[in-house]
A and B are shown apart, each in its own frame.
Chain A
Amino acid sequence: MNEKALPLEESEAAQQPTGLQTQEYFVNMGPQHPSTHGVLRLVLTINGETIVNIEPHIGYIHRSIEKMCERDSYRQIVHLTDRMDYLSCHMNNEAVCLAVEKALGIEVPERAKVVRTILSELTRLASHQLWWGVMGMDLGAITTFLYGFRDREMINDIFEETCGARLTMNYIAPGGLMYDIHPNFQKRTKAFVEHFKKKLPEYDRLLSDNVIFRKRTEGIGILSKEDAIAFGVTGPSGRASGFSCDVRKKQPYSAYDRVDFKEILMDAGDCFARYKARILEMWESLSIIEQLIDNIPEGDFVADTRKVIKLPKGEFYQRVETARGEFGVHIISDGKKSPYRLKFRSPGFSNLFVLNHIARGAKIADLVAIMSTLDLVMPDIDR
Chain B
Amino acid sequence: MISRKDFCKPRFLHKTPSISVEMLTEKIQERFPTLEHLPEGGEYPQFIVPAESLREVALALRDEPDFAFDYLFCLTGVDWPEEGRLEVIYHLESTTHNHQIVLRARTADREENAKLPTVSDIWPTANAHEREAYDLLGIVFEGHPDLRRLLLTDDWVGHPLRKDYEDPVNMIEL
Contacts and interface: CB of A to CB of B under 8 A. Distances in A.
B74 A317 contact: yes
A257 interface: yes
B125 A353 contact: yes
Contacts of B136: 66
Contacts of B4: 280, 283
A262 B172 contact: no
B114 to A, nearest CB: 16
Interface in B92-150: 95, 98, 123-125, 127-129, 132, 136, 150
A147 to B, nearest CB: 16
Binding site secondary structure of chain A: mixed
A75 interface: no
Given A229-B95, A231-B124, A316-B42, A208 B2 contact: yes
B150 A332 contact: no
A232 B73 contact: yes
Contacts, number: 121
B95 A243 contact: yes
Interface in B6-60: 7-9, 11-12, 14-15, 40-44, 46
Instruction: Kindly state the interface size class of chain B when it binds its partner.
Output: 35 or more
A229 B125 CA distance: 9
A326 B2 contact: no
A264 interface: yes
A231 B125 contact: yes
Given A264-B8, A280-B7, A317-B42, A66 B161 contact: yes
Contacts of B95: 229, 243-245
A249 B95 CA distance: 13
Given A230-B124, A243-B95, A250-B98, A260 B11 contact: yes
A227 B124 CA distance: 9
A314 B8 contact: no
Contacts of B157: none
Nearest to B44: A317
B91 interface: yes
Interface string A183-207: 0000000000000000001001100
B17 to A, nearest CB: 10
B74 A250 contact: no
Given A229-B70, A280-B8, 20 more contacts: A58-B151, A59-B150, A64-B160, A66-B161, A209-B1, A229-B95, A230-B125, A232-B123, A244-B15, A263-B11, A263-B12, A264-B7, A276-B7, A315-B42, A317-B74, A328-B74, A330-B91, A341-B161, A350-B128, A352-B128
Interface of B: 1-2, 4, 7-9, 11-12, 14-15, 40-44, 46, 70-74, 76, 78-79, 89, 91, 95, 98, 123-125, 127-129, 132, 136, 150-153, 160-161, 172-174
19 contacts: A62-B152, A67-B174, A71-B174, A205-B1, A208-B1, A229-B71, A252-B14, A257-B14, A262-B9, A263-B9, A264-B8, A280-B7, A283-B4, A316-B42, A328-B74, A330-B91, A341-B161, A350-B125, A382-B151
